[in-house]
Amino acid sequence: MSKLQQFQDYIRSNGEEITGVDVPVTLSDEQAKDAQLKFNFGWRVEIGVSRHSHGGSRPSGIYCGTSSEASADAHNAAKEFVSGRDPLFNERFLKILGPDVSKNFLIKNTSLNSAPSEYVGGDTCSTCNGSGCVRCGSCHGSGKTNCYSCGGRGRISVSKYDSYSERTVYTTESCSSCWGSGSHTCSRCSGRGDVTCGTCSGSGTLYYSYTIDGEAKRSTKWYYTSNDYHEWTGDFLKRTGLNVVHSFNDITEIDVEGDLDGCTFVYGFTAVLPTLQFTASIDKVDTRMCFAGKQNRTHDAGGVYDPAVWQVAQKLGAGSKNDDTKALATPAIKDIIEAKETKTSIALLEENWVSSDIKDAVVANYDSLVSQLKKQSVKGIVPKMMASLAKYGYLFFTLAILIALFFPEFAEEAPYRMGIMQYPQWIIAVLSADFALFGIHPLANYVMVIGLFFASYQLVKRGYWKSIGKAKTYALALGITLLLPHICLSLYYNTQSAMHFGPSFAEGLAGGAIFVGLYLLVLGVTWPKKWYLKPLGLIAATALYAGIQFVFAMLNGALGTVPADENYFRGLGNIVASALMYIQYNFIEIGLFAVLFSYFLTRRRFWLNAKTDVADYNSPVLLKSMNMDR
């Protein structure tokens, strides 16, 4: 089989596999080329001088007097290495150069390690000023230390019992430990008053050495001598390495200017790059296609898959879910989108199997699809959120009014308890350690706050229904850290307080029926499925609501909700009015809860519904683009 037929069969079978459609490409005009590709490359050397401290021990090496003189000599030698005139570094370059170039041409760092020459300098020890000795710290230079028995006085106090006079006599006598002198010879310095300097170990000199370290970095500059190559040639050689060429010759050391100026070594090469070039025809459009190197790797595919890819991709985002699903399942389109989302490169684009124009068109259609799905995912969210706000607002209002009705004495004390408006002052007091939480040390407040913030951060990071950025995660964690103590402490202490007073069942049932019963009106409208039955449902619910209130009025005598000599509905209104005072003091908390619940639960419900719809496309990359891959 000829090369032409071999490549043509490969393009057709591979094209159908990655595009899902037949690619009727026809190759012709096979041309074999062994063109010369000329380039220059060199080493850019970075030389540094490192300082090492050796204390009072003098290392081997070139002694240069003081440390500043040794440093100067080392830097002068480093300049000689950079210039390329020193044979030591030249030999190292030649050893590194040979095998590395023949393998690959990727830019990388190569350490040249340290030069064997070590420049040593000595300075007078600043601790002992060159004497090698310092004053003894135990005796402060005197050579003597106070006797520990008598404390340096030479005499000690003693007591004796006089049996004749039957009394204890106190007197002093000469110290037997120091024989009355009050001091001992210093054990550390043996009475000399000075000891060996620990900084320089008694030498009187501190030594420093300077070594020369080198790191070579390769840089390249290309010069083309033929028009047979495309803009991908340089990247192709760097990616595949010089092992794709048949040979390289004319290796000479040269002098260059510009980017490579100052390199120790610069070499010029002439490389032979074998290439097979074809004319590829598809849908009456001709393009040039090249396979290069000893392994005939694709060098420039000429965008031969463009028509096949575009045949599928042009329908992406046009409004048909089936077409979108089919396009996203097509390997070429899937790879292009994944490369765009992950910011990676793929051979499909690097080798020009699909041109940049088609790639940009595919990405544009995909972005249009993502934009459409994002709009659909929040369509109608504002009315739903407002309805949720009304629902949760009335729910928390009802719960609060029931608490006030069942525990009226507890509700009356609402003005004296800390509310959300006073809570910031409590937070400031905690952070300024004005008082101690739970009776622990006030500084423990910070540990508790930091621990709560860390726990809140982990909770949001792991438990939030979708992936969010760090800024939002920190914001939510901070919100939980600030609000959770208020909620927990309020629930704990308010529950204890309410239980202390005891419930009032009669007032709670009668008053609560007024507000809880309103849910009957909502059910009367929502339960009937037929529109013409909804008015009947509302009438029935209204009648039932009125009946419940009438029953509680009839049971007033037994329940004792309102005194018998007072109008029932007026008395019940007074009870409800007292409960509404509790609502007034907790209005901000009720509103805050309603807003939070309506916002987060509505958004979560819309997000889950949208994720279900997007999952039907069976595309992980689409879930990632929609931030739904969690």
Confidence (pLDDT) at 383: 94
pLDDT at 429 over 50: yes
For the ranges 331-340, 478-487, 494-503, the lowest mean pLDDT is seen at: 494-503
pLDDT score recorded for residue 90: 58
Lowest mean per-residue pLDDT among 71-75, 419-423, 597-601: 419-423
Classified as helix, coil or strand, 320 is coil
Cα–Cα distance for residue pair 455/408, rounded to 1 Å: 37
Q: What is the mean pLDDT of residues 607-629?
A: 90
Query: Which pLDDT does position 540 carry in this prediction?
Result: 93
Percent with pLDDT over 90 in the chain: 28
CB 185 within 8 A of CB 114: no
What is the spatial distance between Cα 131 and Cα 201, in angstroms, rounded to a whole number?
11
**Mean pLDDT on 166-172:** 68
Tokens of 159: 């007591």
Q: What is the pLDDT of residues 64-91, one digit of tens each?
A: 889 989 989 888 887 777 665 666 655 6
Give the model's pLDDT for residue 107: 44
Phi then psi for 213, rounded to 5 degrees?
A: -110, 140
**Residue 265, beta-bridge partner list:** 43
- Segment 326-354 shows an average pLDDT of 91
Is the pLDDT reported for residue 600 higher than 80? yes
pLDDT at 539: 93
Mean pLDDT of 387-415: 91
**For residues 552-578, average pLDDT:** 84
Helix (H, G, I), strand (E, B) or coil at 49: strand
pLDDT at 269: 72
Joined together, the tokens standing for residue 311 give: 């045949």
Give the model's pLDDT for residue 262.
53
Cα–Cα nearest to 506, from 468, 464, 558: 558
pTM to 2 decimals? 0.63
**54 — pLDDT class (breaks 50, 70, 90):** confident
What percent of the chain shows pLDDT beyond 70?
A: 84
What is the per-residue pLDDT for 336? 94
Taking residue 192's Cβ as centre, other Cβ atoms within 10 Å add up to: 14
Say whether pLDDT at 106 is over 50: no
Binning pLDDT at 50, 70 and 90, where does residue 359 land?
very high
Which pLDDT band holds residue 503 (cuts at 50, 70, 90)?
confident
DSSP 233-260: HHHHHHHH-GGGSSEEEEEEE----GGG
User: Which of 90-94, 193-197, 326-330, 447-451 is predicted with the least confidence, judged by mean pLDDT?
Assistant: 90-94
pLDDT band at 218 (very low <50, low <70, confident <90, very high): low
Q: What are phi and psi of 151, to 5 degrees?
A: 70, 25
- Is the dihedral angle over the CA atoms 118, 122, 123, 128 positive or is it negative? positive
pLDDT of residue 622: 92
The pLDDT value given to residue 368: 95
> Please, which pLDDT band fits residue 1 given cuts at 50, 70 and 90?
low
For the stretch 221-266, pLDDT in tens is 656 566 556 656 767 776 676 667 777 666 666 665 555 555 555 6
Residue-level pLDDT at 102: 47
CA distance 160 to 150: 18
Q: How high is the pLDDT of residue 317?
A: 92
Average model confidence (pLDDT) across the chain: 83
Give the separation between CA 509 and CA 556, rounded to whole angstroms: 11
Highest mean pLDDT among 21-35, 46-60, 431-445, 454-468: 454-468
**Are 64 and 121 in contact, with CB atoms under 8 Å apart?**
yes
Per-residue pLDDT for 544 more than 90?
yes
Q: 324-337: per-residue pLDDT in tens? A: 999 999 999 999 99
In contact, 301 and 353? CB cutoff 8 Å: yes
Higher pLDDT, 40 or 139: 139
Which has the closest alpha carbon to 273: 334, 309, 232, 307? 232
